[in-house]
Amino acid sequence: MADPSKILKANVKGEFFVDSTCIDCDVCREIAPEIFADWGGYSYVRSQPRNEAERRKAVQALICCPVGAIGFVGDNSKSLILNVINDFPILIEDDVFYCGFNSEKSYSANSYFIKNPKGNLLVDSPRFTSHLVRKFESMGGIKYIFLTHRDDVADAESFASYFNSTIIIHKDDLIGGKSADFIIEGEEPFQIEQEFLIIPTPGHTEGHCVLLYKNKFLFTGDHIWWDRDKNCLSAGKSVCWYSWEEQIKSVEKLIEFDFEWILPGHGGRMKLPKDKVKEELKKLVERMKRWR
Ligand SMILES: [Fe+2]
């Protein structure tokens, strides 16, 4: 729980606050940008909720905060938190959900759940919580756990052992997935079920992969994300652990695929028309070449 004695002085006074244990992971700013903003190394409350919808989003951010740095001292705060927990996993579109409950073990990477008749799939891992376990159970369990790369493993093994799931990760990133049942090798796209296509995208790490679902959703891990401030697609040279040149090639490779949704581990989520996505990818490749 957040500590009022550690409250950041930048917070606008009111029922929500952020304390100094914040790790600046950006999750609250992605969920509730009307409420939370960047204060150089921390998030802070820029504006208190003005209505019930904003209040609910602020509570969702509190639930997702991996270090419990968001405090809520409003009326009925405990009962509202218990009520909002039931929002998770949150529907994004069709049969794709954002899990919430981001884990500090993966520096708060987002994870996603796909409910599919051929078998449900978890993309990266949230915290192993009884609420999510019950929810996933009621939605048919987890057949596959796809790990985009070695950093975002979090509690994947706990989910895998509970649901008897198959863990999938690229061979070159196996170091983080302490065990795996299904190992991707090389750089060719690999189909695991009709609608799940794994595309190796080395760069951020050597074995980084993205997942294309129904030619509509691209789960991008730490390969690319939407920059909310600059309103464009982005990638990070400062967080490129393997090879920037490889990462440029891996972004270029995505231009041939069709998708609308960019669903990253960190940073902004975005939906655009397919042709606009291709334009954004081309512009990003040009910027990445300039950042060499
Ligand atoms: Fe990463």
Sequence-ordered list of residues with C-beta below 8 angstroms from that of 95, at least 6 positions apart, any chain: 114, 115, 116
Residue pLDDT, tens place only, 264-286 = 999 999 999 999 999 999 999 99
User: Which pTM was predicted?
Assistant: 0.96
> What residues does 212 pair with on adjacent strands?
197, 218
- Residue 223 Cα to ligand 1 midpoint, Å, equals 8
- Residue 71 Cα to ligand 1 midpoint, Å, equals 28
Amino acid making up residue 246: E
Collapsed DSSP state (helix, strand, coil) of residue 74: coil
- Give the separation between CA 269 and CA 284, rounded to whole angstroms: 16
Q: To the nearest 10°, the Cα dihedral for 289, 246, 106, 161?
A: 150
pLDDT over threshold 70, residue 22: yes
- Residue 15 Cα to ligand 1 midpoint, Å, equals 34
Residue pLDDT, tens place only, 146-187 = 999 999 889 999 999 999 999 999 999 987 545 778 889 999
- Residue 83 Cα to ligand 1 midpoint, Å, equals 32
pLDDT of residue 178: 59
pLDDT of residue 239: 95
- Residue 221 Cα to ligand 1 midpoint, Å, equals 7
Q: Which CATH class is domain 90-290?
A: alpha beta
Sequence-ordered list of residues with C-beta below 8 angstroms from that of 111, at least 6 positions apart, any chain: 98, 99, 102, 122, 123, 124, 125, 126, 152, 154
pLDDT over threshold 70, residue 252: yes
Residue pLDDT, tens place only, 55-93 = 999 999 999 999 999 999 978 899 999 999 999 999 999
DSSP character for 122?
Answer: E
Please state the domain extents for the chain: 4-85, 90-290
Residue pLDDT, tens place only, 33-62 = 999 999 999 999 999 999 999 999 999 999
- Give the separation between CA 274 and CA 177, rounded to whole angstroms: 32
- Residue 48 Cα to ligand 1 midpoint, Å, equals 32
- Architecture category of domain 4-85 in CATH: 2-Layer Sandwich (3.30)
Ligand 1 ion: nearby residues, β-carbon < 5 Å = 151, 222
- Residue 210 Cα to ligand 1 midpoint, Å, equals 12
